[in-house]
Amino acid sequence: MRWSQLFVPTLRDAPNDAVAPSHQLLVRGGFMRQLHAGHYSMLPMGWRVHQKVAGIVREEIEALGGQEFLLPTMHPASIWQESGRWDTMGEIMFRLNDRKGAELALGITHEEIFATVASELSSYKQLPQVWYHIQTKFRDEARPKSGLLRVREFHMKDSYSFDVDDAGLDVAFDNHDRAYRRIFERIGVPAFGVEASSGAMGGNDSVEFMTPSDAGEDDVVRCPSCDYSANIEKATSTLPPIDDGSATELEQFDTPGVRTIAALEAFDGGAAADRQLKTLVMMLDGTITLVVVRGDHQLNTQKLADATGAIEIRPAEVDETFGALNAHPGSLGAVNVADHPIIMDSSLEGRVNMTTGANIDDKHYRGVSVERDITVGQWADLREVGAGEACPNCGTAMIIVRCIEIGHIFKLGTKYAETFGVKVSTPDDGEVPVVMGSYGIGIGRNMAAAVEANHDENGIIWPVSIAPFEAVVTIMRLDDETLAAGQTIYDDLKAAGVDVLIDDRDARAGVKFADAELIGIPFRITLGPRGLKEGKAELTGRHSGETEEVGLETVAAVVAERVAAAKR
RNA sequence: CGGGAUGUGGCGCAGGUUGGUAGCGCACCUGCUUUGGGAGCAGGGGGUCGUGAGUUCAAAUCUCACCAUCCCGACCA
């Protein structure tokens, strides 16, 4: 490819509204342009990278036996109504009507559709199956952001496994776990797996793959000394024991003007935060619910969602709270509350001599024994782990790392199989629902993650495996002799299977060097009159930043070998 | 959805308070000179100033409404 004819609109300045490095560099490098929020046009350079990432994903999924499909992205409402997700998915799903008025949805994922196809499976002898496609997903995100990291329209490889039993699912799950780790390794994205909430997927076990980045949106709790790591939506920690003394009588006392945990700590006759109960009044799908955590703990709403299955969760308004408890925030508590559900954080089990609001403004209780004085409807892990808390496995102080979620694998069980009638006969002439798993990896997000992990002040440093071009032959002077020499090297590289670009633009050296570095081509072969006289080319590595002189006749072979080595 | 900010050629910005011919840098076109790290000089092309209404003789500028985009949070596979 001749650079002079290639559409690569590089920019000297990043657009003002791009903040994340990958966003800035992918726009500056002419890889993509924004159409509107969350929708990007892939330009030729961007699409080349995208295709290479997708190709690596395809190879690894094929290697574990995956069969490639292509399912529609526009779906009838009925299929989503059958699974119940027409309602539970809420606003994330784009919905539209056709000319007949029929309701349609744009696919956010494809469990339902693959399950429909899978209903033609009939015998255990056909299993296991792993099916996948690489297809556009549409999600009406509340806040698209950071370039390709969070968009409303993107390509995802999603695969689905079908097994006769849980043991089979475990195999498919482990195969995907290994394949995903190989994918991240090959595309140059440092990754690790974490325990995760399954959220709206409805599965019972899932692993998220994370790469550390300030541009990410997830917090991961990690132990520096053992291998514990979990999404903060799922993470736990070991709390130091607290001596409550022995249980005493429940006693109401006046606390004029005390509205906060901190104020009650400072109040004469109050209590330390870890001896207080924090009562949060939440609306769970329209039901007033009391959620109780320790005074110095924070509620994690995803944990609450996972524990209750609630879809819509929000704090109750002050008037709703007053209507339910006859008191205002600052004096709320769960003691003697009988007519509202109460969910209690597990860490409060067995606690006595606690202090909490009395549901009378300016009054609190002390001497609260949790089990004795509160009608707990449900115990659940609700608190959010903080940095420095002890690892549940080994007790080491843990850290919190900001991460990008780059893949997620789920054990789904038989939920979709039962809904869509995916059943197979068994050797003993029985019939069982098929056990499913689903496995997702966003192509564009991984492309952006690769940039986040591989760039410097001059631009992107693509791993050879996904670089838009593996090498560029930079012609320093557009005379016949230099062009001919460049063309020969270009042809040799082409013949050796290298993705090579020849920079034949009538531009100054600085422009060519800067562009090649910005768009991150791994190897640059520079041909100028100086070296040409001595029969030499210069070979510069984008990654190493180092330049060496190589003979004109051997440089193509040297580069071809290095490219091949990098891809091994 | 709450908070904050911004919309002026492809990109980055000034102009706005005090209404009066729409400007600068980069990019683009032509010519000359230059040519190993984003060249110089000269000439040139390109803009519904986010949209709509209003005030005014006159609106990029003032008023109102709306839209869009970005950031933080909420939310989110």
- DSSP for A498-542, please give it: --EEEE--S--HHHHHHHHHHHT-SEEEEE-HHHHHTTEEEEEET
What tens digit of pLDDT does each residue of A45-78 get? 999 999 999 999 999 999 999 999 999 999 999 9
Nucleotides of B under 7 A from a protein CB: 1, 6, 10-13, 25-27, 35-39, 68-77
Give pLDDT, residue A197.
Answer: 75
Which tokens in the block code for residue A514? Answer: 């800067």
Give backbone dihedrals phi and psi of A138, rounded to 5 degrees, phi first: -120, 125
Contact of A250 with A321, CB cutoff 8 Å: no
Exposure class string for A488-519: b at 16+ Cβ within 10 A, else e: ebbebbeeeebbbbbbbbeeeeeebbbbbbbb
| Window from A205-219, A314-328, A483-497 with minimum mean pLDDT | A314-328
Query: Distance in angstroms, CA of A137 to C1' of B14?
Result: 42
What is the C-alpha separation between A379 and A347, in angstroms, rounded? 9
Confidence of residue A128 (pLDDT cuts 50, 70, 90): very high
What pLDDT, on the 0 to 100 scale, is given for residue A181? 97
Q: How many CB atoms lie within 10 A of CB A274?
A: 18
* Higher local confidence (pLDDT), A319 or A83: A83
Residue whose token pair is 């940039």: A451
Q: Give the residue, A459 or A312, on which the prediction is more confident.
A: A459
* Mean confidence (pLDDT) of chain A: 93
Determine whether the distance from the CB of A34 to the nearest atom of strand B is below 7 Å: yes
CA of A178 to C1' of B64 (A): 60
- pLDDT given for residue A411 in this prediction: 93
pLDDT band at A89 (very low <50, low <70, confident <90, very high): confident
A511 touches strand B (CB under 7 A): yes
How far from chain centre, in Å, is Cα A530? 50
Whole-angstrom Cα distance, residue A159 to residue A165?
18
- Residue A274 makes CB contacts below 8 A (sequence gap 6+) with A242, A294, A295, A296
Q: How far is CA A199 from CA A105, A408, A502, in A?
A: 20, 11, 49
Rounded to whole angstroms, the Cα distance separating A87 from A373 reads 38
Q: Is the peptide bond before A72 cis (omega within 30 degrees of 0)?
A: no
Domains along chain A with CATH numbers: 3-235+400-452 (3.30.930.10), 251-380 (3.90.960.10), 469-567 (3.40.50.800)
Cross-sheet strand order for the sheet of A536-541 = A500-503, A471-475, A523-527, A536-541, A547-551
Q: Tell me, what's the pLDDT at A111?
A: 96
The residues facing A424 across adjacent strands are A432
Asked if pLDDT for residue A139 goes beyond 80, the answer is yes
Task: Please say whether the beta carbons of A472 and A3 come within 8 A.
Answer: yes
* CA angle, A163 then A164 then A166, to 5°: 75
Nucleotide nearest residue A513, measured CA to C1': B37
Amino acid at A88: T
Secondary structure letter of residue A145 according to DSSP: B
Instruction: Round to whole Å and give the CA distance between A530 and A523.
Output: 20
Flag whether pLDDT at A201 surpasses 80: no
Evaluate if the CB of A517 falls below 7 Å from strand B. Answer: yes
Distance A513 CA to B36 C1' (A): 10
ipTM score of the complex? Answer: 0.93
pLDDT higher than threshold 90 for residue A318: no
Averaged over A518-541, what is the pLDDT?
A: 95
Q: Tell which residue, A84, A81, A71, has the closest CA to residue A103.
A: A81
Would the Cβ of A372 be found within 7 angstroms of any atom in strand B? no
CA distance A198 to A209: 13
Separation of alpha carbons A562 and A338, rounded Å: 72
Strand B close to A515 by CB, under 7 A: yes
| pLDDT one-digit tens code per residue, A325-382 | 998 888 999 999 999 999 999 999 999 999 999 999 999 999 999 999 999 999 999 9
Distance A454 CA to B6 C1' (A): 30
Collect all residues with Cβ–Cβ distance below 8 Å to A521 and sequence separation of at least 6.
Answer: A462, A467, A468, A469, A470, A471, A472, A501, A542
By the 8 A CB rule, do A21 and A447 touch? no
Query: Residues 455-474, chain A: which have Cβ under 7 A from strand B?
Result: 458
pLDDT at res. A271: 92
Confidence of residue A13 (pLDDT cuts 50, 70, 90): confident
Which residues make Cβ contacts (< 8 Å) with residue A517, sequence separation at least 6? A458, A459, A542
pLDDT greater than 60 at residue A261: yes
Q: Is the per-residue pLDDT at A199 higher than 70?
A: no
Least confident span in A19-33, A115-129, A313-327, A342-356: A313-327
Q: How far is the CA of A539 from the C1' of B41 (A)?
A: 36
